[in-house]
Amino acid sequence: MAGSGKTTFMQRINSYLHAKHDPPYVINLDPAVRNVPFEANIDIRDSVNYKEVMKQYNLGPNGGILTSLNLFATKIDQILALLEKRTAAPPPAKPGEPQAKPVRNIIVDTPGQIEVFVWSASGDILLGSLASSFPTVIAYIIDTPRTASTSTFMSNMLYACSILYKTKLPMILVCNKTDVKDAEFVEEWMTDFEAFQAALREEEENPEGGDGLGGGGSGYMGSLLNSMSLVLEEFYSHLSVVGVSSMTGEGVDDFFAAVREKAAEFERDYKPELERRRQQREEEKKGKQEKDLNRLLKDMNVSTASSSKQTKPPKAEPETISDMEDEDDDDDDGDLVDPDEEDDDEEKDGLTQRYQQALKDSESNPHGDDFSFARYMHKANIG
């Protein structure tokens, strides 16, 4: 959350890695930060002017951050190319020169308004692209002194849970500022349900206790927090928790031990799942392309078929449309005769002689039973 100490923590781990002669690749994604206490290799502020964006698009602070991230996310290919290059094994050094080492850690600072980052398309793109190229771990920074009340603790946990759900990436809870307040209670509340219960009762008995923010409070609130802590039990089991002070550097070793553990988990559990989802997206995309292509071909077929009808030469022979016309003509079993075939009578005003005769006969026999013209024609044909 805002003010939890993300940027100070970045400074701390950056100097820790430099001290280990293992300098990280540093990325700052907070366009609104005034100054960062570390040297960023890629800084969103170099390519997007946050104040300008707010003015131009008439946006507030959050809208400005979101739009800046969206503009920055359009460069994701360049960013990935840079990262691939820096993490790839460098060419062998020339004799007498020190061997350059590949970057082993990429550390990224996010804007304080975390919902802007996690729930925006650009946050998705940036995280998704990183995770599809490198083992990626989320460090969720908690302001430990401000989490001492059960309700702030619970809202922090729900926030972390929503980010875990959204990003589907391994997560480490970093309880920061342990120089001000020890983080033991956080781990206890996460792993021991009774301990959380006791804290709830304690706050109910003296609501002004804790950090004075009044935690559990009324019965309703107490039971709500109660049921939530039960629900989150499963979620807690997916997390690593470390207590750190970005001020003093205490706990940073534990953090990097947790990162190595989570990176192994990423390779084992998350990467196959990412691979599967990527494949699924590819298949869906291919399926959609196929469907679009078929529809296009069908449309084109229809148009070429109808246009070829106009261009095709008239058929010389009428197609046989039924086996009746295949039979031998002289066993005259009353098959329909196509008037055009009568070539032995001469035609008079379009009617052959036999048809004219049939017409005459039908006039001279006014009382015939239902003497339909067609039957008469048939008779005339036999004749």
Ligand X SMILES: Nc1nc2c(ncn2[C@@H]2O[C@H](COP(=O)(O)OP(=O)(O)OP(=O)(O)O)[C@@H](O)[C@H]2O)c(=O)[nH]1
**Nearest residue by C-beta to ligand X?**
112
Query: Which is closer to Mg ion, CB of 6 or CB of 181?
Result: 6
Query: Which is closer to ligand X, CB of 53 or CB of 380?
Result: 53
Smallest gap from residue 159 Cβ to ligand X (A) = 13
Q: Which of 5, 31, 123, 170 binds ligand X (CB under 6 A)?
A: 5
Position 109, amino acid: D
Q: Is 7 in the site for ligand X (CB under 6 A)?
A: yes
Q: Is 4 in the site for ligand X (CB under 6 A)?
A: yes
Q: Is 177 in the site for ligand X (CB under 6 A)?
A: yes
Smallest gap from residue 244 Cβ to ligand X (A) = 7
Q: Which residue do the tokens 């650009």 mark?
A: 122
Comparing C-alpha atoms, which of 74, 75, 69, 30 is closest to residue 53? 69
> What is the distance, to the nearest Å, from the Cα of residue 43 to the centroid of all Cα atoms in its chain?
26
State which of positions 102-141 bind ligand X (CB under 6 A): 112
State which of positions 46-75 bind ligand X (CB under 6 A): none
Query: Which is closer to ligand X, CB of 30 or CB of 203?
Result: 30
Q: Could you give the string, one character per residue 15-34, with x where binding to ligand X holds by CB under 6 A and - elsewhere? A: ---------------x--x-
Q: What is the DSSP letter of 243?
A: E
Smallest gap from residue 10 Cβ to Mg ion (A) = 8
Q: How far is CA 358 from CA 188, 210, 246, 332, 380, in A?
A: 110, 115, 113, 18, 6
Query: Which is closer to ligand X, CB of 224 or CB of 247?
Result: 247
Q: Which stretch binds ligand X (CB under 6 A): 18-26, 49-57, 171-179, 201-209?
A: 171-179
Q: Is 374 in the site for ligand X (CB under 6 A)?
A: no
Position 314, amino acid: P
Do 44 and 30 meet the contact criterion of CB atoms below 8 Å apart? yes
Please give the structure tokens belonging to residue 21: 């002669």
Q: Is 151 in the site for ligand X (CB under 6 A)?
A: no
Sign of the dihedral through C-alpha 298, 301, 303, 306: negative
**Neighbour tally for 291: CB within 10 Å:** 10
Q: Is 8 in the site for ligand X (CB under 6 A)?
A: yes
The angle at the Cα of 25, spanning 22 to 26, to the nearest 5 degrees, equals 120
Do 32 and 46 meet the contact criterion of CB atoms below 8 Å apart? no
Query: Which is closer to Mg ion, CB of 159 or CB of 235?
Result: 159
Q: Is 209 helix (H, G, I), strand (E, B) or coil?
A: coil
Q: Which of 68, 176, 240, 362 binds ligand X (CB under 6 A)?
A: 176
Query: Which is closer to ligand X, CB of 160 or CB of 380?
Result: 160
Query: Which is closer to ligand X, CB of 180 or CB of 324?
Result: 180
Smallest gap from residue 17 Cβ to ligand X (A) = 17
Q: Is 179 in the site for ligand X (CB under 6 A)?
A: yes
State which of positions 304-333 bind ligand X (CB under 6 A): none
Smallest gap from residue 207 Cβ to ligand X (A) = 27
Query: Which is closer to ligand X, CB of 138 or CB of 358?
Result: 138
**Nearest residue by C-beta to Mg ion?**
7
Q: Kindly give the residue spans of alpha helices, DSSP state H, lying in the chain.
A: 6-19, 44-47, 50-56, 61-73, 76-87, 114-118, 121-133, 150-167, 184-191, 193-205, 219-236, 252-265, 271-311, 353-364, 373-382
Please give the structure tokens belonging to residue 134: 């490198």
Do 251 and 236 meet the contact criterion of CB atoms below 8 Å apart? no
| Site residues, Mg ion (CB under 5 A) | 6-7
Do 200 and 150 meet the contact criterion of CB atoms below 8 Å apart? yes
Smallest gap from residue 111 Cβ to Mg ion (A) = 7
Q: Is 335 in the site for ligand X (CB under 6 A)?
A: no
Binding residues (CB under 6 A) for ligand X: these are: 2-8, 30, 33, 112, 176-177, 179-180, 245-247
